[in-house]
Structure 1
Amino acid sequence: MEQPIDITNRTLLRKLLLSLDENAVPLWGKMKPRQMVEHLVDQVEWTNGKKTPTCDRPAEEAYQSKQYMVYTDAEIPKNVFLENLPDDFKYPDMETAIDQLMKELDDFDQYFKQPGTTAIHGGFGPMNHQEWLIWHGKHFTHHFKQFGLI
C-alpha cells in the first residue's frame, strides 16, 4: 500500500475535496460525494470528544484487529458496508460539509493535546493519537480512492 493520506496536511485535504464534483460517480460503492464527506465528518466526531464511542468486541479480538488494520499495510476493502447511508444531507452544500470536516479535524488535534488521551474505535478498542492518525489516514485514503481523488 502506498503511504496513506496525511490528515495533518489540511491544505492538501481541502484542495482534494474541493476538486471533487458533487455529481461524481464513485469508482465503487454507493456513496455520493457529499455523503462521503459527511461520513468523514461523522467518523472524526467519534475521535474528537464530541461523541462517546464504545467497542463491543472482546478486548483481545479488538486488539488483534487493531494490530492488523493499524500496524500493517492492510487496506480497507472496497465495498465494505458498515452502516446505512442517510437519505438527507446534514449540510447545505459540499463546501459547508468540507468546512465542517476541517473544523472537526482541528477539534481532533485539540482533543489529543492532553498526553495519554485515547478514543475508542468501535472495532479496535482504545487508540492513541498516533494510532488515530494512521487509521484516519487509511480511512480518508480509502474514500479518496473511491472517488479518484488520489
Structure 2
Amino acid sequence: MIKQPERFSPSKSFFRMVNYFIEEARFWLKDAKGNFIDYQLELESEFGEITRQNGSFSRSVILGVHIEGKQKDVQVHNIYVKIKGNFEANIEENNEDLFDKVCKYNGLMNLLIIARSFIATTTAQMGVHPVLIPMVNLTKVEIKG
C-alpha cells in the first residue's frame, strides 16, 4: 500500500528578502582535463547596521563566495562572487537580537543559494562543467559581525 503524502500549508515568515544584486563577479577558468576538480570554498560575510522604521527591522547582508579549483596541484578555476541582499522583518521592537540571528543564518543561506545558482549557470554558459557550491551547514559555523 502506498502511503499518502502529508500535506501542509506553511505560514509566511516574518523575515523577508526585499531585494538582492550581484556586486562583483570574477571568473578565471583554465581548460581542465576531465571533470574531477578539487574545490576549496571560502565564504566572507558583512552585515550592515540594523535599522528600525515603520515597525520593521531592516539590514543589508553581503556574502562573498571564493572558490578555487585545482587538478593535481595546478589551479584551474578561481571564482569570486559578491552578492548583497536587503532584508526586513516585522517583529516586536525588543527582538532585535532575534532579527540579528535570523539575518546571520537565514539571510546568508538565501544569498548562498542565489550565488550557487549564479555560479553554476554562468560556468555552464562558459562551456565548462558547471561549478556547484557544495551544501553548507551554517549552523556549524560561528558567524561574526
Q: TM-score range by the shorter chain?
A: under 0.3
- Greater share of helix: 1
- Greater share of strand: 2
TM-score after normalising by structure 1: 0.26
TM-score after normalising by structure 2: 0.27
